[in-house]
Amino acid sequence: MNQGNRIPGAPIIDHVGIAVNSLQEAVPRWSAILGQPPSGEETVPSEGIRATFFGEGSGRIELLAPLTPESPIARFLDRRGPGIHHVCVCVDDLEVALAEAEAAGAEAIPPRIRVGAGDARIAFLHPRSLKGVLLEMREDPEGG
């Protein structure tokens, strides 16, 4: 990933995931507020979502809508309503980052490693590991 002027060792926020009931309803409002159209949309069957991103590179906003009433995003929406779902950080090596997180007491959500949006390898750390924050770790599929 392009690290620009980042401080060595500082985490890079890849994106913030926001749960919405409907992309069809949410995208026009977000587009108007951000002054830009989404940069892409895709279905991620492994997560049971339809996702769209605003922006490119690090610092994106991801809108997540459920594909089925049984998906994790649908359950989140039922419990909490629309809003911030997770924060995603970039990692160079997902296996190493996940092992280090688990050694520090974090709990990975099964399956530990999976394929997410953009064909990136991802892992999620359970919110009870981080005082209520769901953390996604994303390995750049292009390795850089």
Q: Residue 7 domain-assigned?
A: no
SS (H, E, C) 61-128: EEEEEECCCCCHHHHHHHHHCCEEEEEEEEECCHHHHHHHHHHCCCCECCCCCEECHHHCEEEEECHH
Q: Residue 65 domain-assigned?
A: yes
CATH number for the domain that contains residue 130: 3.10.180.10
**For 12-31, how does the pLDDT look when each residue is reduced to its tens digit (9 = 90+)?**
999 999 999 999 999 999 99
Domain containing residue 51: 13-139
Q: Are 12 and 3 in contact (CB under 8 A)?
A: yes
DSSP state of 7: P
Q: Residue 2 domain-assigned?
A: no
Q: Residue 1 domain-assigned?
A: no
Number of domains into which the chain is organized = 1
Q: Residue 130 domain-assigned?
A: yes
Q: Residue 29 domain-assigned?
A: yes
pLDDT for position 63: 98
Residue 144 predicted with pLDDT over 60: no
DSSP state of 45: G
Q: Residue 6 domain-assigned?
A: no
Tokens of 109: 């959500």
Confidence of residue 8 (pLDDT cuts 50, 70, 90): low
Q: What is the pTM of this model?
A: 0.89
Q: Residue 105 domain-assigned?
A: yes
Element of type H or E holding 50: strand 49-54
pLDDT for position 6: 47
Considering only 13-17, 24-28, 38-42, 137-141, which range has the smallest mean pLDDT? 137-141
pLDDT for position 142: 67
d(CA 133, CA 120): 21
